[in-house]
Structure 1
């Protein structure tokens, strides 16, 4: 394995200024038997965990990124590693995910759930513009087999804007799925009867569910769980004879903004005469308010997420904060206390309300610290699972084999010359907001072609970006450039014999990024202005390597290594 020279990486405190804020940039495993929230300070949004034996798995949203729906593994609920992804052919779903279109910003795969039933992993996800999807695997690492969920007539549920599905298998083997359909007037959660194999909704009709802004009716549209507006973040499970259905409300048209748990001894609630509700004729549920807020700025507890228990019977909640930080919506872990058969999330419980806790003992001690993202020297024959692509890549235009020990990215035109967000084969990892983050990449630029652009970038879900890189003019004219949302600051022209460039970004907890370059790996020079990292379209910041050429399908770069330094404990 080739060495990544340590002299390239200056003291983190010298490279960036650290901003003192309400919460420090310390997170995850602290190495002393405790952890700090968030457990991962990165955009693993809409987290949903499950335990299988003494192993824990979690899924998160990926939206336009490829592969879709990240799958992570942990032994202690704190240290996580990406082990796979559920959707590995998004273009088969819709060509909008391809490098020929790149049209799934603010859409794609989001709010998945994972469960384990009958020796099989199931992941349910709504593709916002494409419909209901399910993926199954015997091993969480894959391979995953994905397909559309079908309606009662056997037709694929290719319907838009449905969200947040969650499955449930009862003791009698019958299966159900809850999901929401955001809309202007009828934004409710519905429960559907599902086939035992989890692939068909038995009281859903695709034509009926394709309608917008209507109250969906049984037996073609499932059964309304509750007549409360703006419900999402659905969860369904059973404990001690009670059925629990949880959701979030985002407006004051229902019970008010907040998180609510519905409970009944009957899945469809209880009718006024005490008999069980049934499909199409739901009864009432007892309701517990987890948290009621007036705005996301007042969030006290992490919201949308899922419950998980340890083998010893301890319960935890893995949820996200939605605070519009550069890290997006990171997962946080809190204990759950059962009081009168109600789950109470948080610590320092008073009057059935828990409080947020930023530092807690690890649920399970004894496992080493690990991060889901990190450095890469590209020595392996397969791409490390920590990497993602901006939309599905053009696979014949990147390689780990053409030059062993390097990641080669070939340049080709952007979609309709649409600039950075239409540049295919941009490869990235999620930004982990910390006290200090330093990312340095070494790139061989000797084979760039006229018109080719290449560099290191911060970007979010399709709106804002900044990069440091270079552009090739003519045969031997390479010029450095800094670019921020289309505005360019030109840098120096490189000497014709310069074959290697070192690019770096330094970020403090204040989310201010500084871009630097070096010609020798020792001396770094700042180029451009400080750039404020921001989220957009439900995505946090990502750090990526890009190249494109609007003149022709020509030129390539070889990435020697990618160094990701994080100070977080």
Structure 2
């Protein structure tokens, strides 16, 4: 049922349903025609969020782990409708060679949580990689170009960093050491450093531990009304909750308060995120849900109410601690023309920003210029091709998008397969580290077969004589996926079984286009278009 609640001049519509493992209470999501919104505002894998307001625009970043380009940048005008603006990291090998197509052995690592800030007339992004330390880049425009990635500190066992520029221009850096510290025999120590004025190195002599608790991460620093605020999350009996410290000096002493409650099975632990004040004085928090389902860690928007100088996130309870809010009045007039991009006809000189490769791609084996209006994927051998259950995780040049969790999803790709060679397999896929399915064309000698592959098993295959094929995947709100194929682009026939989309290694399901050859570096496919329609 729906109840109207009024608290501190903000009216929110809460949707109350029985306990569920899903990150949304209904199939509705995002902006509604009546000026309200439903959480999540993005029902897809936008994890480890941070967000800021710059003038009339809002920007957010989301971790991408081993996908390339890395650290996606989002843009909004209303905090509800978002589009993909670009990426910060063009070359993942500047982080580690393990993220290259030659290695592909760091799934779930790579680019973890970070922060986006705007000061000194630039956007600044800092992030951590669990095995490789901290990195940064800056740009005058959030869409890029971003400066080449710079390593701030080569260290392992650290995460969840944020930069901060004080009123006097002094730069600070905060992060968590999640490994056991031999000095105090504790894990999850939160450290504060001063930075050099160019923001590219830490002053190690200023290292100070300002907090330690179970699982204390998700660090952000703010200065609001003359006070310093340190946002973080920690693990309590109820789940991972949001916390806040405040102090008159950045070095402390700090007061501390819990600012939200969670029901882990229902709320899915909103925590990583960014605190923002609008021009009208309202405060909001853009966050991910830390416990993921098949769509990954989705993004929600929560109201912020100031109580006794503390920013309480969500609906304020009798104990002055916030609770999850699943819908409400939109903070600003909605801009529905802004949306997450999906379609591509490959007519541009560069790939559109919705695309991310699985690991750093091999650039000499794909092209947008070899055939105008097509993406050409040239096949080469995957790493460990003998493993049929995991072959796609280590097959180069697999290009992907996030799978959205809506009531109806339909993705269609048109392939010209006339350039295929013996041993080649190319087509459409859904994959995570726990499950993988593929529908595509496999060439054996001179024969081409339409093959459905799942859980390491392949269908017998249907002989294909045509040079052009259409492949389609559909899935619903529950993540039930079904494949189809067509030889004329009009009549689509089902093939294979209904499968359940899954997540793994803190990543949601990906839909992608794959192409590899287990026998040799031979063959190619030309992709005419990729169309992905999702329900609103």
TM-score, normalised by the number of residues in structure 1: 0.85
CA contact (8 A) 2:261 2:322 kept: no
CA contact (8 A) 2:24 2:40 kept: no
- Alignment of 1:441 with 2:419, yes or no, is no
CA distance in 1, matches of 2:171, 2:509: 37
Deviation at 1:393, TM superposition (A): 0.9
Deviation at 1:149, TM superposition (A): 4.3
CA distance in 1, matches of 2:25, 2:372: 43
CA contact (8 A) 2:295 2:404 kept: yes
For structure 1, the residue ranges without an aligned partner over 5 or more in a row are 1-19, 151-156, 204-218, 271-284
Deviation at 1:257, TM superposition (A): 4.3
Alignment-derived partner of residue 192 in structure 1: 193
CA distance in 2, matches of 1:111, 1:529: 36
Residues 128-139 of structure 1: pairs in structure 2 closer than 5 A: 128-139=130-141
Q: 1:405 aligns with which of 350, 361, 373?
A: 373
How big is each residue's C-alpha offset from its partner over 1:172-223, in whole Å with a ceiling of 9 and x where there is no partner? 22111110121254222111111222111102xxxxxxxxxxxxxxx47x21
Secondary structure of 1:225 counterpart: strand
Secondary structure of 2:98 counterpart: helix
Residues 76-225 of structure 1: pairs in structure 2 closer than 5 A: 76-150=78-152, 157-184=153-180, 185-203=186-204, 219=205, 222-225=207-210
Alignment-derived partner of residue 486 in structure 1: 456
Alignment-derived partner of residue 214 in structure 1: none
Alignment-derived partner of residue 505 in structure 1: 473
CA contact (8 A) 1:237 1:245 kept: yes
Deviation at 1:489, TM superposition (A): 2.2
CA distance in 1, matches of 2:523, 2:179: 47
Distance change in 2, residues 1:197/1:21 (3 Å):
closer
Secondary structure of 1:35 counterpart: strand
For structure 2, the residue ranges without an aligned partner over 5 or more in a row are 1-21, 181-185
CA distance in 1, matches of 2:319, 2:217: 26
Q: 2:241 aligns with which of 235, 244, 258?
A: 258
Alignment-derived partner of residue 74 in structure 1: 76
CA contact (8 A) 2:23 2:268 kept: no
Q: In angstroms, what is the RMSD of aligned CA positions?
A: 2.0
The count of residues paired between Structure 1 and Structure 2 equals 506
Deviation at 1:404, TM superposition (A): 1.0
Q: 1:44 aligns with which of 46, 62, 76?
A: 46
CA distance in 2, matches of 1:351, 1:227: 24
- Alignment of 1:304 with 2:272, yes or no, is yes
CA distance in 2, matches of 1:244, 1:56: 21
CA contact (8 A) 1:296 1:322 kept: no
Distance change in 2, residues 1:396/1:21 (3 Å):
closer
Alignment-derived partner of residue 34 in structure 1: 36
Q: Which moved more, 1:447-456 or 1:484-493?
A: 484-493
CA contact (8 A) 2:176 2:188 kept: yes
CA contact (8 A) 1:398 1:410 kept: yes
CA distance in 1, matches of 2:310, 2:105: 43
Q: 2:488 aligns with which of 493, 509, 520?
A: 520
- Alignment of 1:267 with 2:250, yes or no, is yes
Deviation at 1:349, TM superposition (A): 4.5
Q: 1:558 aligns with which of 522, 526, 530?
A: 526
